[in-house]
Chains A and B, each alone.
Chain A
Amino acid sequence: MNSKTLFYIFKRVLLAIFTVWVVITATFFIMHAVPGGPFVGEKATTPAAQKAMEAKYGLDKPLIEQYFTYLGDIVFHFDFGPSLKQRGRMVIDIIFDGMQTSLVLGLFAAGISTLFGIILGAIAALRRNKLIDRIIMVITTAFVSMPSFIMGTLLLVTFANVLPTNGSSAGGMILPVVTLALYPMAYITRLTRSSMLDVLGQDYIRTARAKGVSGGRVIFGHALKNSLIPVLTYVGPMLAYIVTGSLVVEKIFSVPGIGRAFVNSITGRDYPLIMGTTIILATLIVIMNLLTDILYKVVDPRITLE
């Protein structure tokens, strides 16, 4: 790795930190500007009770002071504070619990979708316009155009009597993983197919063939590797989105993931949990984008990172 690349990475890391800071600041102030509060319920509390709670969690202080206190706690102590709604639980524990499930779910789904996506895409490209290509294309079109809440519910009712439908058990992860994987798999298949077709038409493939390089080597050594660049662009952010954005699937299959904590924190005005989940999710997306850019270079040395 040359110094130019290192400098590029350094620059990108700085930029990532800046991005996360902007996210923190914007979220913090927007969140407090939204009407309603964590201690407002259907049944009203007295001003004394309200005050006692606000004092307990430091919400009685000026907003700007709360902001700097929060920032300080995050940077120096990695302390996200206590949840205001799930009484007695720390935000970091809630996030950790949710992330464990979401990560397992997301990694499995991403792995399956990438693996099968690339294989199916390559097959479709190599058997272009043959029967198998058409079947793959029809299926993937169906999956790409079906939103996850329909796919999830469909799988739920179809397999309710065969597979566990509750995400709290290990076996119960099968359906959510499949639901999550189908869309990206279909997308990757289509991406790989078109990219591969493009690469197969390139001059250097013809040259390789003309040189007498074996069919397998042409495909795996030259064509496939080069056709993966667009796929890679998609896979990085996809992983982040699968991990963070699986709310619908989590709800349908009662999976205890992070997406649910995120949405509930917003409706309940659980300020520390809103902040905690936003920061973690934003960081994850920023990191995945950074890794994707770096990986480009590994796959295609022609790309220079500047």
Chain B
Amino acid sequence: MSLLEARKVTRRFGGLTAVSAVDFRLEPGIVASVIGPNGAGKTTFFNLLAGVYEPSEGSLLFQGQPLAGLTTHQIVRRGLARTFQNIRLFGPMSVLENLLIGMHTQMKTSVISQWLNTPAGRAEEKAARVKCLETLDFVGLQGEAHKAANSLPYGHQRLVEIARALASDPKLLLLDEPAAGMNPSETHELTELIGRIRDKGITVLLIEHDIKLVMEISQQVMVLDHGHKISEGTPEHVSKDPKVIEAYLGAPEE
């Protein structure tokens, strides 16, 4: 069974069709990318998956279950976490607290027992902190836990956002342009991190403009242009597809 399946998904905004009849299947355990020129509908496709928008037509299945009618937070509970194109951290809060908020869906103790400060509630809170610190180590931010999130350099803020998404223990991680604004060495570290996330068994779907990163890490690439899927397959296949070259560079002159 595919982890994620989009069936003829269409999304219109008034007269504009941002995503048009896109079919997409994502197998578990891989890194896949969605690429395309600006305005191709990539972020809209992500927002459809994350429940920010409902499809105008078509349906989305996650682990065989339809996502229709679910709100964003319910979808997170099902195991689909995301990051944002423009970083959206809880700025004045500490890095650790950002991750603890990411773990919100994992907290099982009732609010009442947290208020009464029961041993079970305290144990859960302690375990959550340990797990968040481990996640910070995993993304390479050990030692930054107690700094305010907005005091970190840009590249590290991106990592905090990824760590926050990982804290929800997702099955599928959506990364919206994770390398945007990163320098080459940061991008290299990010590429390596995405590989390690996949090795943990978490499927990764990313939107990315850095073609080198996409080609290096993805097993599957989907190309969108003007809302349509124009090509799909391995990185090698896609990079040689004339339709893709045309979308990016324009049609050759006669």
Tell me, yes or no, whether A binds B.
no
